[in-house]
């Protein structure tokens, strides 16, 4: 509970870094091919929430005050010095210019607590996230994103998929330029995890059955899927941020745990909002999950006490009237309250994970992010 404490704005703490985020990302996405350039940058136009970069930057500052790994201290300084942060705009279908000049320098050093490599990591997380949205909107046949037509609607499926691939390619180049093998491995794993999560989501339950029964495994499967699809990016980028700063092993693990629990809370709230908010409020279609055949947390909790949901889950709410019936049953159950309670649990665990960090504004910002995750309306 927040009591009467004045609320702090996490964004203000890293505002200087966030200010350059979209511009830097757009530079990373430059292509001489005009329509690729347009499709690739499309989702950078409407202001997103930039949750992931914000968390990475806060984590970078918060962990800068934590103990360092002795061997790493030196390595970090060397690595930071070696990073080529100049990702110049590209000419037609060319490679990155390896001898980019100072004029194309896209990173302006502001906060000494945040390394250039950590700022670049923040941009890479947003790139990977945006790539996943481009692909996700194709898979989900989504027509709106951030209050505007989706990329697939605007450019067609082919270009939207290719634009997503292009983002992943550019994210990979930027990642390689960090020259930190463990960080590269972490973020490459995230990309694979996103696909694994999406594959798990193609099925609602571990086993393919016509009339599945609720079991504890139902929730385990959902949480594993949720980790892969949402929490993997947040947790592994938090871990990477601590690693780039040369933090010791305990700090790196704490950063990871914060991200993992926050990511799970974040997606649980997302799945709850799909039931409770209108499309207008969300800026994307509401009630979309059932229409897509997805059984998320509110329904899974309802199913526990309402076995008749099993056959609907088994046929992915495909029969006429299934979606409305399922929605009614969820609303009659305490599924939404249970989802909220679980999200609160994870948010608390996220806060607990970083309780050992020295007090700082950035640490307060991370705590506030966990609180805000529960309060968010879209
Ligand atoms: C949004 O979920 C989607 C994700 C969090 C990940 C989607 C992952 C893929 C499509 C895998 C392949 C992509 C890449 C780039 C590796 P949602 O549909 O629940 O959210 P929404 O309501 O915002 O659409
Ligand atoms: Mg979607
Ligand atoms: Mg989806």
DSSP of 208-273 = --SSPPP-HHHHHHHHHHHIIIIIHHHHHHHHHHHHHTTB-HHHHHHHHHHHHHHHHHHHHHHHHH
Mean predicted lDDT score pLDDT of the chain: 88
pLDDT band at 2 (very low <50, low <70, confident <90, very high): low
pLDDT band at 147 (very low <50, low <70, confident <90, very high): confident
Number of Cβ within 10 Å of residue 79's Cβ equals 18
DSSP of 40-75 = HHGGGTS----HHHHHHHHHHHHHTTSPBPHHHHHH
Residue nearest to atom 22 of ligand 1 (CA): 284
Residue nearest to atom 2 of ligand 1 (CA): 136
Looking at the chain, the whole-number percentage of residues with pLDDT higher than 70 is: 86
Cα–ligand 3 centroid distance for 138 (angstroms) = 9
Q: For position 210, what pLDDT does the model report?
A: 87
Question: Largest alpha-carbon pair distance within the chain?
Answer: 65
Mean per-residue pLDDT, 223-229: 97
Mean per-residue pLDDT, 228-252: 97
Mean per-residue pLDDT, 182-208: 94
Which atom of ligand 1 lies closest to the CA of 195?
Answer: 11
Which atom of ligand 1 lies closest to the CA of 233?
Answer: 5
Residue nearest to atom 14 of ligand 1 (CA): 132
Q: Is a pLDDT exceeding 90 seen at residue 227?
A: yes
User: What value, to the nearest 5°, has the Cα angle with vertex 93 and ends 89 and 97?
Assistant: 45
- 241/285: higher pLDDT: 241
Query: Which secondary structure element, helix H or strand E, spans residue 16, and what is its range?
Result: helix 15-28
Q: For position 88, what pLDDT does the model report?
A: 43
Question: For the segment 259-305, what is each residue's pLDDT rounded down to a tens digit?
Answer: 999 999 999 999 999 999 876 676 766 688 999 999 999 999 999 99
What is the ipTM metric for this complex? 0.93
Reading the block at residue 185, the tokens are 């491995």
Q: For position 97, what pLDDT does the model report?
A: 41
96, 94, 104, 92: which is closest to 34 by C-alpha? Answer: 92
Cα–ligand 1 centroid distance for 188 (angstroms) = 16
Which atom of ligand 1 lies closest to the CA of 136?
Answer: 10
Q: For position 263, what pLDDT does the model report?
A: 98
Predicted TM-score of the model (pTM): 0.89
List residues bridging with 248 in a β-sheet: none
Ligand 2 is an ion; residues with CB less than 5 A from it? 136, 140
pLDDT band at 95 (very low <50, low <70, confident <90, very high): very low
Looking at the chain, the whole-number percentage of residues with pLDDT higher than 90 is: 75
Residues across the chain:
378
Cα–ligand 3 centroid distance for 80 (angstroms) = 36
Mean per-residue pLDDT, 144-154: 94
Place of tokens 């027509």: 143
Question: For the segment 316-357, what is each residue's pLDDT rounded down to a tens digit?
Answer: 999 999 999 999 999 999 999 999 999 999 999 999 999 999
Q: Kindly list the protein residues whose Cβ atom lies closer than 6 A to any atom of ligand 1.
A: 131-132, 135-136, 139-140, 142, 164, 168, 191, 194-195, 198, 229-230, 284
Please tell me whether residue 168 adopts helix, strand or coil conformation. Answer: helix
Name the closest ligand to CA 285.
1
pLDDT band at 108 (very low <50, low <70, confident <90, very high): very low
Q: For position 20, what pLDDT does the model report?
A: 87
Give the list of residues 6+ apart from residue 238 with CB closer than 8 angstroms, or none: 55, 56, 59, 255, 256, 258, 259
Q: Is a pLDDT exceeding 90 seen at residue 146?
A: no
Q: For position 72, what pLDDT does the model report?
A: 53
Say which DSSP state 151 is in: H
Q: For position 75, what pLDDT does the model report?
A: 57
Name the closest ligand to CA 267.
1
Place of tokens 């997103």: 48
Q: For position 320, what pLDDT does the model report?
A: 95
Cα–ligand 2 centroid distance for 83 (angstroms) = 35
Number of Cβ within 10 Å of residue 157's Cβ equals 14
Mutational test site, ligand 1, from 134, 136, 275, 277, max ligand atoms within 8 Å of CB: 136
User: What value, to the nearest 5°, has the Cα angle with vertex 80 and ends 78 and 84?
Assistant: 115
Cα–ligand 2 centroid distance for 141 (angstroms) = 8
Reading the block at residue 111, the tokens are 């906060």
């Amino acid at each position: 509970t927040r009591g009467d404490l004045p609320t702090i704005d996490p964004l203000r703490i890293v505002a200087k870094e966030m200010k350059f985020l979209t511009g830097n990302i757009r530079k990373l996405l430059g292509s001489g091919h005009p329509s690729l350039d347009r499709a690739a940058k499309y989702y950078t136009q409407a202001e997103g929430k930039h949750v992931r970069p914000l968390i990475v930057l806060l984590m970078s500052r918060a962990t800068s005050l934590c103990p360092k790994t002795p061997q790493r201290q030196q390595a970090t300084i060397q690595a930071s010095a070696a990073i080529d942060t100049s990702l110049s705009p590209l000419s037609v279908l060319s490679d990155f210019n390896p001898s980019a000049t100072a004029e194309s320098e896209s990173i302006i050093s502001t906060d000494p607590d945040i390394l250039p490599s950590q700022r670049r990591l923040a941009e890479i997380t947003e790139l990977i996230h945006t790539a996943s949205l481009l692909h996700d909107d194709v898979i989900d046949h989504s027509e709106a994103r951030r209050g505007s037509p989706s990329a697939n609607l605007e450019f067609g499926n082919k270009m939207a998929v290719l634009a997503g691939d292009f983002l992943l390619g550019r994210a990979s180049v930027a990642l390689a330029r960090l020259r930190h093998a463990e960080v590269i491995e972490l973020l490459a794993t995230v990309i694979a995890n996103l696909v694994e999560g999406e594959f798990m989501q193609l099925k609602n339950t571990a086993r393919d059955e016509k009339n599945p029964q609720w079991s504890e495994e139902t929730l385990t499967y959902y949480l594993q899927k949720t980790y892969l699809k949402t929490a993997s990016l947040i947790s592994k980028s938090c871990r990477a941020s601590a690693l780039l700063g040369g933090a010791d092993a305990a700090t790196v693990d704490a950063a990871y745990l914060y991200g993992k629990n926050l990511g799970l809370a974040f997606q649980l709230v997302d799945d709850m909002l799909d039931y409770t908010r209108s499309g207008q409020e969300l800026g994307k279609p509401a009630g979309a999950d059932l229409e897509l055949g997805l059984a998320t947390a509110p329904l899974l909790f309802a199913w526990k006490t309402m076995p008749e949901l099993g056959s609907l889950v088994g046929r992915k709410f495909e029969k006429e009237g299934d979606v409305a019936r399922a929605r009614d049953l969820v609303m009659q159950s305490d599924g939404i309250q249970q989802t909220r309670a679980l999200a609160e649990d994870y948010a608390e665990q996220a806060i607990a994970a970083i309780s050992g960090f020295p007090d700082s504004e950035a640490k307060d910002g991370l705590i506030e992010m966990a609180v805000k995750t529960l309060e968010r309306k879209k």
